[in-house]
Amino acid sequence: MTLAHGGEIRIGEWCYVGEGTRIWSAGSIEIGNRVLISHSVNVFDNLSHPLDAAARHQQIRQIFKRGHPIDISLDENPVKICDDAWIGAGAMVLRGVTVGEGGIVAAGSVVTKDVLPYSIVAGNPAEFVRKLPSNAR
For the chain, the structural domain boundaries read: 8-48+76-131
Reply yes or no on whether 5 is catalytic.
no
pLDDT at 2: 57
Per-residue pLDDT of the chain (137 residues; tens, 9 = 90+): 556 567 899 999 999 999 999 999 999 999 999 999 999 999 999 998 888 999 889 888 988 998 887 777 888 999 999 999 999 999 999 999 999 999 999 999 999 999 999 999 999 999 999 999 987 55
Question: Could you tell me which of 15, 91, 90, 69 has the C-alpha nearest to residue 115?
Answer: 91
Looking at the DSSP assignment, which residues form a beta bridge with residue 68? none
pLDDT at 137: 53
pLDDT at 72: 79
| d(C-alpha 48, C-alpha 31), whole Å | 20
Q: Does domain 8-48+76-131 have CATH number 2.160.10.10?
A: yes
> Which residue among the candidates 39, 49, 57, 68 is catalytic per the annotation?
49
Please classify residue 136 by burial: count the beta carbons closer than 10 Å to its beta carbon, then call 0-12 exposed, 13-18 middle and 19+ buried. Answer: exposed
